[in-house]
Amino acid sequence: MNDQPVLRASAVHKRYEGGPQTVEVLAGIELELQRRRTLAVVGASGSGKSTLLHLLGGLEHADSGRIEVCGSAWSDLSPAAQGTWRNRHVGFVYQFHHLLPEFSALDNVAMPLRIRRMASEAARREAAAMLEQVGLGARCAHRPGELSGGERQRVALARALVTRPALLLADEPTGNLDADNAERMFALLLQVVADQHGALVLVTHDQQLAQRCDTCLLLAKGRLQPGDAQDLPRR
């Protein structure tokens, strides 16, 4: 059971119809990620990186192909079972943080634990400890609107990590951070991967971070190809 890949994707296709033209975003994605492995996905803006992560995390559906996380395919699960499976196995850091604006940082981070029916006090304790780890121990009571962009990003990271998921999907998690905080967040991601024997898919425009992952693949023309972070289009 333990040598089963955390993530397996085969023949994944996705196109967006409507509007003036059809966009074929993913055209045959093949991917396998074992435990303790880290993968960077790089590529030009609009190449489909966020779309790919959404599909891998079961947040959007592929047109065809199969995506398995910890042995179960999204397409084999009911919508309710998908939600449970995602909460149990996946931590998702969105490109745009998607924090709940009415809730404090603490309650945002505690939310995935509350969804697991963890008691409120325990969930808030875990959330506070995770916020401490991302350097926001002093911001627990702030709502997202009262935080800086980088602070919001760190709250979103804490929310993804608080359940200690086997699969971490992180979409530009360091995009708004200064070099020191980016380093700290990357180290935290690696630590959770190591502690959980999990796996990380990191979408990034940061060449140095991409190079520090075990593998770096370039998404271009709808496919993942061996990539060199040096090939990255510079922003």
Residues of the shown chain interacting with ligand ATP in the complex, contacts defined by CB under 6 A:
16, 23, 25, 43, 45-51, 95
Nearer of residues 50 and 133 to Mg ion, judged by Cβ:
50
CB 103, min distance to ligand ATP, A: 26
Which two three-digit tokens encode residue 39?
Answer: 């993968």
Counting contacts by CB under 5 A, is residue 176 touching Mg ion?
no
Nearer of residues 46 and 149 to ligand ATP, judged by Cβ:
46
- Which of 75, 95, 207, 211 binds Mg ion (CB under 5 A)? It is 95
Counting contacts by CB under 5 A, is residue 163 touching Mg ion?
no
- Which of 38, 50, 82, 196 binds Mg ion (CB under 5 A)? It is 50
Nearer of residues 46 and 137 to ligand ATP, judged by Cβ:
46
The full 3-state SS of the chain, as one line of letters, equals CCCCCCEEEEEEEEEECCCCCCEEEEEEEEEEECCCCEEEEECCCCCCHHHHHHHHCCCCCCCEEEEEECCEEHHHCCHHHHHHHHHHHEEEECCCCCCCCCCCHHHHHHHHHHHCCCCHHHHHHHHHHHHHHCCCHHHCCCCHHHCCHHHHHHHHHHHHHCCCCCEEEEECCCCCCCHHHHHHHHHHHHHHHHHHCCEEEEECCCHHHHHCCCEEEEEECCEEEECCHHHCCCC
CB 194, min distance to Mg ion, A: 26
**Contacted by 38, from Mg ion, ligand ATP, none: CB < 5 to 8 Å by type:** none
**Contacted by 48, from ligand ATP, Mg ion, none: CB < 5 to 8 Å by type:** ligand ATP
Residue with CB nearest Mg ion?
50
CB 50, min distance to ligand ATP, A: 3
Where does this chain touch Mg ion (CB under 5 A) — which range of 9-17, 89-97, 120-128, 161-169? 89-97
Nearer of residues 95 and 207 to Mg ion, judged by Cβ:
95
Nearer of residues 120 and 208 to ligand ATP, judged by Cβ:
208
CA–CA separation, 174 and 166 (whole Å):
20
CB 174, min distance to Mg ion, A: 14
* Best CA proximity match to 199, nearest among 14, 74, 39: 39
CA–CA separation, 99 and 28 (whole Å):
32
CB 47, min distance to ligand ATP, A: 4
Give me the residues that bind Mg ion (CB under 5 A), please.
50, 95
